[in-house]
A = this chain, B = another copy of it.
Amino acid sequence: MLFYIVHFMTHHIQLAYYYLFDSTTICVTIMKMTPEEFRHQKCQTLQGVDLSRKGCIDDAIKLLVEVINNRDEFVTTSSCSGRVILFCENIAEGHKKGCKWLFTSHDSVDIQELINSVDPAEGNLVFKYEPLILHIRCFTLDHAKLLHTCALEAGFRNSGITLGKHGKVMLAVRSCMGLEVPISENGELLVSHKYLEFLVRKANEKVEENQSRTERLLTCVKNAFEVNT
């Protein structure tokens, strides 16, 4: 085994990375993918078709996404700045996919706008707030760890790393601050307008909290990149 490793290193030493985490573990990663190959795949990702419903990056996180994508070692693969949605549950399929959206906002919500969208005849309605979600492909585990630390510092406690096929390292930035409220069934609205007003107020509080976390994340990421330049 020693021979195998050393043999491998002499051929690939120009691609070798080593890191030391907290001096208890030393990990030597010898990657078949060169930085150039990663950059090539990154270009393909950035040039690909945006498959989201909206089809573009939300204004509130354009700068954050830009700061991350400006670094060779990272590429965002999907993002949502956070949103308030009103949708119909698709019971037939048993999951959200293919469900109809009646209302969506990436910013604070106007109560009248929401109430105008409430139509129990459309199906079983759910009012939901989803905070920022960001998926970032990273060149190495080291790079993923750097951004993961930023995400945790900024309050995105449900973030985590995924090791995918073909050695892909992904970081998902997620928060645990949600709101998921079913409000109608079989064509009948089960809550009052007063309650809907209350819900919108609650959602708007979360929109604000999400915005300050997102700002903290941008600051953390900028600082981390400065230190690691």
Contacts and interface: CB of A to CB of B under 8 A. Distances in A.
Given A5-B28, A174-B158, A163 B191 contact: no
Interface in A155-200: 158-163, 165-167, 172, 174, 178-182, 185, 190-192, 194-195, 198-199
Given A163-B145, A180-B178, A190-B195, A18 B33 contact: no
A172 B26 CA distance: 23
Contact of A160 (B8, B23, B162, B166): B162
Interface residues of A, number: 52
B26 A32 contact: yes
Nearest to A10: B2
Contacts of A145: 163
Nearest to A182: B202
B1 A16 contact: yes
How many chain copies does the complex carry? Answer: 2
Of A33, A145, A162, which is in contact with the most chain B CB atoms at under 10 Å from its CB?
A162
B22 A167 contact: yes
Contacts of A160: 158-162, 172
B22 A31 contact: no
Interface of A: 1-2, 5-6, 8-10, 13, 16, 18, 21-33, 141, 145, 148, 152, 158-163, 165-167, 172, 174, 178-182, 185, 190-192, 194-195, 198-199, 202
8 contacts: A1-B18, A8-B26, A23-B32, A24-B32, A24-B166, A161-B163, A179-B181, A182-B198
